Amino acid sequence: MSHEIKNEFLREMDARGLLYQCSNLAGLDAAMNAGSITAYWGTDPTGDSLHVGHLASLMLLRWFQKFGHKPIGLVGGATGRVGDVPTKSNDVVRPALTDAEVEQNLAGLRRSINKILPTEILMVDNYEWHKGYGHLEFLREYGRQFTIAHMLSMESVRRRMEHGLTFQEFNYMTIQAVDFLHLYKEHNCVLQLCGADQWGNCIMGIELIRKKLGKEAFVLSTSLITDSAGEKIGKTGGNAVWLNEDRTSPYEYYQYFRNVADVDVDKFLKIYTEIPLDEIAKLSALKGQEINEAKKILAFEATKIAHGTDAARAACDAANALFSGGGQSAAIPTIEVSGISDQVSVLDFIMMTDLFPSKSEARRTIEQGGLKIDDVVMNMDSVITPTDGMMVQKGKKTFLKVVIK
């Protein structure tokens, strides 16, 4: 960042690697130094939980609140009813959700957002103001504010052009711009927080506010966080690591952060915990086996933010019990399996547990000796006689307790 930042919030976020782009850093710096401001972050209801991939933006929102500013969470009930716009150039547009699916997902998203924030925040649904617009009314009110040339210049549009850009996708940024305008007028919301992939859409919002109201607003983005291998964070074994405990247990969540690569410890401590930066510097300097202590602290602190201190402590205790040979714990993920005959092949059995995203991956893990059941290494010829409470181990650090119905 070329501007010398004076605001404490912005300086802290910059030092933690949470700032990527700002539409007017000097202007935002001055506005935040002048007093408390309001910002919003939004998400679409493509599922009933957010995942760790969303967490950098949510941590930005969390810090924003902790520094005395007012955050707003927006859930896209309007977008969910017309179909979500893909972020990759070759993705297909997701189908429109039913009203019941939208409402179910919105409830889960509200829970995801509020569990990361220190105190409950104002939550809004853009369907509340978009449902009142007819097509002609929307065009009459806002159509002249957007030029085709400018919209075509957006990176999100250019990525989709060669694969076939739909009218729905093309208009997504106008819907998002109107959201920002609405929140500016109703809540004096002057800042939108977003991930880097939403930058172009968000810029349209501040331009609409300038044209319609003659006021200045700001956009602040986080980068898309990747691990040392260049992979987007939040995946384990091909599956997303969810924030809501009914999708990913606190133990699995803890284990995700416990198992990060050594070179990612410093970055992840800065982004996904609130440990002071001077302490992070000491933890990141640890070498060899000692870096595992830093990983345990990372896992505990990250889990505490998402699930609370008690759940983080239970997950830590469960991991310690397993890896020290101290037995099982109630915090270990459990799955109920039914419809099993007296004996079943290990491959068929393991696919009933949802531990692997595909049969080919399960087969590969078994062939490589990476699957144990009750501490016995399995092979492709193994036959299982299921018993209640069996402990399945995938690799070195993923455990699952199986309850037979």
Distance CA 290, CA 66 (A): 32
| DSSP letters for 112-126 | HHHHHSSS--EEEET
**Amino acid (1-letter code) at residue 65:** Q
Q: What is the dihedral of CA 253, 401, 314, 277, to 10 degrees?
A: -20
Task: Examine the residue annotation and report whether 267 is marked as an active-site residue of this protein.
Answer: no
- The residue from 3, 6, 87, 88 that is catalytic is 88
Q: Residues 236, 313, 317, 401: which is the catalytic one?
A: 236
- Residue 56 — left, alpha, or beta (φ > 0 → left; ψ -120 to 50 → alpha)? alpha
Those residues whose C-beta lies under 8 Å from the C-beta of residue 74, and which sit 6 or more positions away, are: 40, 41, 42, 43, 123, 124, 125, 126, 179, 183
Q: Is 51 a catalytic residue?
A: yes
C-alpha span between 87 and 43 (Å, rounded): 13
Catalytic residue, chosen from 51, 130, 267, 304, is: 51
User: Which residue among the candidates 16, 29, 44, 54 is catalytic per the annotation?
Assistant: 54
Q: Which of 46, 65, 168, 328 is catalytic?
A: 46
CB hemisphere CA count around 70 (13 angstroms): 12
Give the containing element (helix H, strand E) for 401. strand 398-404
Set 104, 168, 197, 348: catalytic member: 197
Q: Which of 176, 255, 273, 353 is catalytic?
A: 176
Which pairs from 366-375 meet CB under 8 Å and 24+ separation?
A: 370/394, 370/395, 371/346, 373/346
Q: Which of 185, 210, 232, 282 is catalytic?
A: 232
Give the pair of three-digit tokens for residue 121: 């925040």
343 is catalytic: no
**Diameter over CA atoms, the chain:** 73
235 tagged catalytic:
yes
Active site residue 94: yes
User: Quick check: is 368 catalytic?
Assistant: no
Q: Which residues of 313-341 are buried (b: 16+ CB within 10 A; e: fewer)?
A: bbbbebbeebeeeeeebebbbeeebeebe
Closest of 204, 189, 271 to residue 17, by C-alpha? 271
**Does 43 qualify as catalytic in the annotation?**
no
Is 232 catalytic? The answer is yes
Q: Which residues are catalytic?
A: 46, 51, 54, 88, 94, 176, 197, 232, 235-236
